[in-house]
Structure formats: structure tokens, C-alpha cells
Amino acid sequence: QGGSSGGERRFVETLARAAVAVGVAGVFIETHQDPDNSTSSDGPNMLPLKDMPALLERLMAFDRIAKGL
């Protein structure tokens, strides 16, 4: 897309869960308080900061399940 990577935030959780399921120990998630109004070209990729705590809780729970804990 020229000046941006063309990512879509709607896939963030699905891709992060897939990574956790195959044993990835960490994920990089771009976040911003207001991604739709970010001056960064990565706004469409960014998850709203307010959504991060719940996503991290879900990923940690998924990690425990994936590891059989």
C-alpha cells in the first residue's frame, strides 16, 4: 500500500492466538490510544490501547491451555 503495511486490526487476536498455539513465547502488537486518528501510517494495524488488557488476559489463558497447564 505504498506508505503502510496494509495490515488489518481485525486479525490481531486470531494471529496472536495462532502464534501462542504453536509455542511462540511472545507477540508484538502495535497499539495506540486512538489508532484511527494516529499520525502513524500503521493506524489500521494498531489495536486500541483500551482493548489490550482483555486481549492479554485471553492470550495468557490460551497459552495455559496450549501448554496443558
- For the chain, the C-alpha Rg in angstroms (whole number) is 13
Read off the C-alpha cell for 2.
505504498
Q: pTM (2 decimals)? A: 0.80
pLDDT tens string, the chain, 69 residues long: the values are 555 556 788 999 999 999 999 999 899 999 999 998 888 778 888 999 999 999 999 999 999 998 887
Instruction: Determine the Cα–Cα distance for residues 55 and 14; give it in Å rounded to an integer.
Output: 11
Task: Determine the pLDDT at residue 56.
Answer: 96
With beta carbons less than 8 A apart as the criterion, state whether 29 and 67 touch. Answer: no
